């Protein structure tokens, strides 16, 4: 990713616009609007899921714009999957891809039928590409299985500490099958940008690992290191990022083309799912 206009390869996550994140309430409406207006001038893609919004209450400025949409679909066993898919994509224009959001759905007894229907929508040119959003190597293998080894897209976590999918065998499969990779969690849900004094006590057991990382004092340098690491991965086509205000996104853009020496961080990595997989974090709020 080193020789491209990186802004064109950024997919902006929309979880920060949801009620759960607090940015959509009246108090933060101006902040949300400023963030989106700034973002749409600088990026081309949005990452969207009904899970991010209460009662599917997606703001119109998220639904109706010229940006390309990556829609993550969620399913309920009690409902017809075709109706669920149609309901979650019907209000959006310019849909680039539809991804299965919850990896557990990859093991759904109806998954083959679900994928057949997504293929039908793709053939009908209602959507361009299909695939899944995953967390683990098991999810990766299951995606290959249910998509007959040819998903268009897999969205997966990659960051300087979580190098799970940089396994030589996995990389070979990705390249052989020409799978489009969207890297998410490049800051490990913000954990890599937090000052050590503000890091939740849950992560204390990994202090030995963060020792070198914590020597990087500024958030700017941490962002540069994280993005430099991702830019060096040749099979990553898009980076999915989320921010809560315009200032954060602007800072990220300013850091994109800066350089950093990350050779000293070569051993800053872990395979411990309790650290690298946020779904397993046991944080008391």
pLDDT in tens, 135-185: 999 999 999 999 999 999 999 999 999 999 999 999 999 999 999 999 999
Q: Alpha helices, DSSP H only, in 147-260?
A: 168-176, 207-210, 219-231, 246-256
Any domain includes 1 = no
Q: Provide DSSP, 250-275.
A: HHHHHHHT-----GGGTT-----HHH
Domain that holds residue 152: 6-280
Residue 285 lies inside a defined structural domain of this protein? no
> Is the residue at 169 inside a domain?
yes
Structurally, how many domains does the chain consist of?
1
- Residues 219-259: pLDDT tens digits? 999 999 999 999 999 999 999 999 888 999 999 999 988 98
Average confidence (pLDDT) over 67-71: 95
Q: Are 237 and 204 in contact (CB under 8 A)?
A: no
Say which DSSP state 237 is in.
E
Specify if 31 maps to a domain.
yes
Residue 239 and residue 183 in contact, taking contact as beta carbons nearer than 8 Å: yes
Cα–Cα distance, 188 to 139 (Å, whole number): 18
Please indicate, yes or no, if residue 65 is contained in any of the structural domains. Answer: yes
What digits encode the pLDDT tens for the residues 27-61? 466 677 788 889 989 999 999 998 887 656 777 88
Confidence (pLDDT) at 23: 32
Q: Is residue 84 part of a domain?
A: yes
| 246 assigned to some structural domain | yes
Q: Report whether pLDDT(188) > 50.
A: yes
Residue 226 is predicted with a pLDDT of 96
Structure-token pair, residue 268: 């800053």
pTM of structure: 0.92
Reported as a single tens digit per residue, the pLDDT across 91-145 is 899 999 999 999 999 999 999 999 999 999 999 999 999 999 999 999 999 999 9
Residue 198 included in any domain = yes
Domain of residue 34, CATH code: 3.20.20.100
Instruction: Give whole-number Cα distances, 7 to 21, 63, 66, 252, in Å.
Output: 24, 21, 16, 10
The DSSP line for 65-83 is SSSEEEEEE---TTS-HHH
């Amino acid at each position: 990713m080193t020789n491209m206009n990186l802004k064109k390869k950024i997919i902006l996550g929309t979880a920060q616009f949801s009620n759960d994140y607090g940015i959509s309430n009246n108090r933060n409406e101006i902040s949300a609007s400023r963030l989106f207006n700034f973002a749409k001038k600088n990026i081309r893609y949005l990452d969207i899921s009904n899970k991010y919004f209460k009662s599917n209450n997606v703001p119109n400025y998220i639904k109706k714009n010229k940006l390309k949409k990556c829609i993550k679909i969620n399913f309920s066993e009690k409902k017809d999957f075709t109706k669920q898919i149609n309901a979650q994509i019907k209000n959006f224009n310019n849909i680039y891809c539809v991804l299965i959001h919850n990896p557990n759905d990859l093991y759904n007894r109806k998954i083959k039928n679900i994928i057949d229907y997504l293929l039908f929508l793709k053939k009908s040119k209602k959507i361009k590409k299909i695939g899944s959003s995953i967390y683990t190597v098991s999810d990766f293998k299951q995606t290959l299985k249910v998509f007959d080894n040819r998903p268009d897209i897999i969205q997966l976590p990659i960051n300087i500490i979580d190098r799970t999918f940089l396994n030589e065998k996995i990389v070979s499969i990705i390249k052989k099958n020409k799978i489009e990779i969207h890297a998410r969690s490049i800051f490990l849900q913000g954990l890599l940008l937090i000052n050590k004094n503000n890091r939740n006590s849950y992560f204390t057991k990994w202090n030995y690992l963060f020792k070198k990382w914590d020597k990087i004092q500024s958030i700017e340098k941490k962002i540069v290191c994280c993005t430099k690491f991702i830019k060096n991965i040749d099979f990553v086509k898009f980076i999915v990022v989320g921010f809560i205000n315009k200032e954060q996104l602007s800072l990220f853009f300013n850091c994109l083309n800066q350089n950093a020496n990350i050779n000293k961080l070569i051993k800053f990595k872990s395979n411990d799912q309790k650290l690298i997989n946020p779904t397993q974090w046991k944080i008391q709020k």
